[in-house]
Each structure stands twice: as structure tokens, then as C-alpha cells.
Amino acid sequence: MALYSRITGTGSCLPPQRLSNADLVSKLAAQGVETSDDWIVERTGIRARHFADDGVFSSDLGLVACRAALQAAGLQASDIDLIIVATSTPDMVFPSTACILQHKLGANGGAAFDVQAVCSGFIYALAVADAMLKTGAARKALVVGAEIFSRILDFTDRTTCVLFGDGAGALVLESGSKPGILASDLHADGRHVGILCVPGHVAGGQVLGDPLLKMEGQAVFKLAVGVLEDAAHATLAKADKTASDIDWLIPHQANIRIIQSTARKLKLPMEKVIVTVDQHGNTSAASIPLALDHGIRSGRVKPGQTLMLEGVGGGLAWGAVLLDL
């Protein structure tokens, strides 16, 4: 009997501290950095974001999201035999945030590891989990995106510090005879490593290089729209589907302009796109599962619908997953 993987539960977590644009503008003004709510909204569509408190780590946010996903799936942590965490802001250099999360959940014994593909990390993690479940290497997985980007932002650079937020999203993926994930498409182009990166590392007990996020916004924008369109069409072709079969586009929530451009290229109205960037900002690997959980819990995204998930991030890495919920 052929094995497939299917989403059976989702969950999310946003830190309690919510910063509106006005809050952030005030914070930046105190540091001599000028920006405005109008400037941020016009260029990004972002109106608010959440920042984690000191002492809170990516695994802590992931823990809340995982517990909600398990509850939705009607499972216990002990049922899980695979945990994959997509993150660019791990709790520590090692061990993996997935192992730390596994311990906090009490789900010890199964495989646990991190995936680092920045804002496309959740797509990569989902595709890897799908492959493992289809081969029987695991039966029930937690796929998590968890980020605390507020700690790697340069608050003297208004072009980047207004974009990002913290959060986590998770889903339970179970193997079975009924198809769920239909196809995926993953790519990377290392020639573009310099346009979105954190060029620092730890050596000899010190941080060497610059440990804060750097981005060439226009370069990222131009590349992102093209590769997202290509990945979506490639994924549809693998599943023998067309864009007209998509009930919901759930893209990485980086910038409303990128989201609108991608939808337009796929000839999808914005009424068929889940948008959370206005309230969450760019939460990197957490943005897609956060948006998915929001869509489901709001009642818009329903069982039986076909979803296109896609993301692009530093690397440059990108990909898409088509699935039936």
C-alpha cells in the first residue's frame, strides 16, 4: 500500500508583546532613527509585529505552537516520532532547537533535527517530513517554524528593522493511505548569499563579523517574485494541476507587494490569498505555518481544499508545496 502524508492539526504562537508601527516609530525615534507609519505601510503592508521577551527562546514559542497542533490532531506528544524545526534563530549553536523542543514536549526517542533555509525553511522542512513519512521512516511528525528575529535586527537601519517579527507555527503530519501533500519543489542559488544574510559567527568565545541582519531589498524583491512563480508552476505540473485548482495561496509573509505580485502572476485574486503580514510582520520560517493556522482557525481554510504554500529567503533558497487539506 502506498503511503502519503497529510496535515491533521495546526497551531501557532505569537509573543504577548505587540508593537504597532506607532510603537516602533517611537522606539526608533528615541535612538535617532526617523521613519513613520505611512512609510512602513506603503512599502511593506506591515502595521504591527510581535517581539519576544528576554529569556524566551525559539523552542519556547515552538512548544506552545506544537501543543496547540497536537490538541487539534487529537494526539499526545508521545505519539510523535519525528520533529523538524525550521529556524534561523536557534536557541544555541548546538544541540538543535528540535532536540530542545523534543525534551520540553516530552516526546523523546524519535528523530529530531533543524532545517536552515531562512524564510523558505518551513517549505524545506515540510518537504523533508513528507518524504520521510512516505518511505515509512516516521509515522507522525511535528513540522515547526520558530523564529526570534528581533534579536538579530539592526535598529539603526530603518529599511530592515521595521520588517521582522517573532513567532512560531507548527503542524502535525501523519502518514496514511489518503493523499495530502501532492507535490513539492525546492531550489537554491548560492550566488545570491550576500543579498540577505547575517554575516557573523562565533569563534574563540567571541562573535566575529557582523551578527545583525543585512538585506538588499530591491534585489531580493526582483528575484523573489520570479522564483516563486516558477516554483508554483513546477509544483502544479508535478501534481498534474493548474492554478485554477488552488483554493488558497498561503505564501511567505515578507511584503504585501511580493504577495500581490505572486498572486497576480498565478492569476489568483487576493480573496484567495491568506495575508497576515500586516499584523505579524515577516516572521521568516514561522510565517507560513502561522498564516496556515490563522486561515484554519478563522474558518476560511477548510478540509478538502487545495492549498499552495510557498516561500523564498536567504541563500537564496525557495520552494513550494501543494497539498489537499
Shared domain check, 190 and 110: no
For residue 1, what pLDDT band results from cuts at 50, 70 and 90? confident
What would the mean pLDDT of 168-175 be, rounded to a whole number? 98
Annotated catalytic residue 252: yes
Closest of 135, 83, 155 to residue 113, by C-alpha: 83
Beta-carbon count within 10 A of 83 CB: 29
Closest of 17, 3, 313 to residue 165, by C-alpha: 17
Closest of 143, 53, 52 to residue 98, by C-alpha: 143
Closest of 222, 88, 215, 220 to residue 159, by C-alpha: 215
Return d(Cα 128, Cα 106) in angstroms, integer: 23
DSSP characters for 119-133? GGHHHHHHHHHHHHH
Return d(Cα 303, Cα 249) in angstroms, integer: 15
DSSP characters for 77-89? GGG--EEEEE-SS
Closest of 260, 235, 137, 132 to residue 184, by C-alpha: 235
Shared domain check, 218 and 310: yes
Question: What's residue 41's pLDDT?
Answer: 97
- Span of 24-33, 68-77, 179-188 with lowest mean pLDDT: 24-33
Shared domain check, 241 and 162: no
DSSP characters for 2-67? --EEEEEEEEEE--SEEEEHHHHHHHHHTTT----HHHHHHHH---EEEEPPTT--HHHHHHHHHH
Shared domain check, 169 and 151: yes
Overall number of domains in the chain:
2
Please tell me the number of Cα atoms within 13 Å of 134 on its side-chain side.
Answer: 15
Q: At residue 295, what are phi and psi to the nearest 5 degrees?
A: -65, -40
Query: What CATH code is carried by the domain that includes residue 54?
Result: 3.40.47.10
Shared domain check, 246 and 145: no
Shared domain check, 240 and 123: no
Question: What's residue 236's pLDDT?
Answer: 98
Spatial contact of 187 and 311, defined as CB atoms under 8 Å apart: no
User: Is the pLDDT assigned to residue 181 strictly greater than 90?
Assistant: yes
Return the residue matching grid coordinates 507560513.
288
What would the mean pLDDT of 166-189 be, rounded to a whole number? 98
Return d(Cα 197, Cα 190) in angstroms, integer: 12
Shared domain check, 169 and 247: no
Tens of pLDDT along 119-165?
A: 999 999 999 999 999 999 999 999 999 999 999 999 999 999 999 99
**C-alpha angle 45-11-16 in degrees, rounded to nearest 5:** 60
Percent of the chain topping pLDDT 90: 98
Which of the listed residues 114, 145, 176 is the one where a domain comes to its end? 176
Question: What's residue 246's pLDDT?
Answer: 98
User: Is the pLDDT assigned to residue 108 strictly greater than 90?
Assistant: yes
Question: Which residues form the domain of 238?
Answer: 181-324
Annotated catalytic residue 197: no
Which of the listed residues 176, 206, 224 is the one where a domain comes to its end? 176
Q: Does residue 95 have a cis peptide bond before it, meaning omega lies within 30 degrees of 0?
A: yes
Which of the listed residues 159, 176, 193 is the one where a domain comes to its end? 176
Percent of the chain topping pLDDT 70: 100
Q: Per the residue annotation, which of 21, 50, 66, 252 is the catalytic one?
A: 252
What would the mean pLDDT of 247-269 be, rounded to a whole number? 97
Shared domain check, 130 and 14: yes
Chain-wide mean pLDDT for the chain?
Answer: 97
Question: What's residue 31's pLDDT?
Answer: 87
Spatial contact of 71 and 79, defined as CB atoms under 8 Å apart: no
Spatial contact of 198 and 148, defined as CB atoms under 8 Å apart: no
Annotated catalytic residue 161: no
Tens of pLDDT along 61-90?
A: 999 999 999 999 999 999 999 999 999 999
Closest of 133, 167, 127 to residue 320, by C-alpha: 127
Q: Per the residue annotation, which of 13, 99, 119, 161 is the catalytic one?
A: 119
What would the mean pLDDT of 197-216 be, rounded to a whole number? 96
Spatial contact of 94 and 29, defined as CB atoms under 8 Å apart: no
